[in-house]
Amino acid sequence: MKKSATIAAVLIFAGICATSVLATTKTERSGEELFKEHCSTCHPDGSNIINPGKTLRKEHRDAHNITTKADIVEKMRHPGKGMTSWSAATLPDEEAETIADYIIKTFK
């Protein structure tokens, strides 16, 4: 009886560990990784190969009223001409926000 209780406790503990490891790997994709995967084809180093007047640098973002994380996420949801669009189903809010954070911190 005692032994099986110990085994159960060990199994529960292992389960908790496995769950937290999975949860971390899921959320731990960095903004840089996500940016490279989704955005850098058209925005290498924060530039814009299709519309050079709309780079991701602060100067251009400010000029187009894209000043907050939410503004950048909004752009991914409803982009202008020539840019791919991502719904919450193809790019969850959490990942979109991670990318937006990365852009604000990286392209000054």
Q: Which residue in the set 12, 21, 50, 70 belongs to the binding site for ligand HEC (CB under 6 A)?
A: 50
**Does residue 81 belong to the site contacting ligand HEC (CB under 6 A)?**
yes
Helix then strand then coil, in percent of the chain rounded to 5, is 60, 0, 40
Q: What is the largest CA-CA distance in the chain?
A: 72
Residue with tokens 């050079």: 52
Q: Which residue in the set 30, 84, 85, 90 belongs to the binding site for ligand HEC (CB under 6 A)?
A: 84
Q: How far is the CB of 95 from ligand HEC (least distance, A)?
A: 9
**Does residue 31 belong to the site contacting ligand HEC (CB under 6 A)?**
no
Interhelix angle 31-38/93-106, nearest 10 degrees: 100
Between CA 65 and CA 8 the distance in angstroms is 56
Q: Which residues bind ligand HEC (CB under 6 A)?
A: 38-39, 41-43, 48, 50-51, 54-56, 60-61, 64, 66, 72, 75-76, 79-84, 99
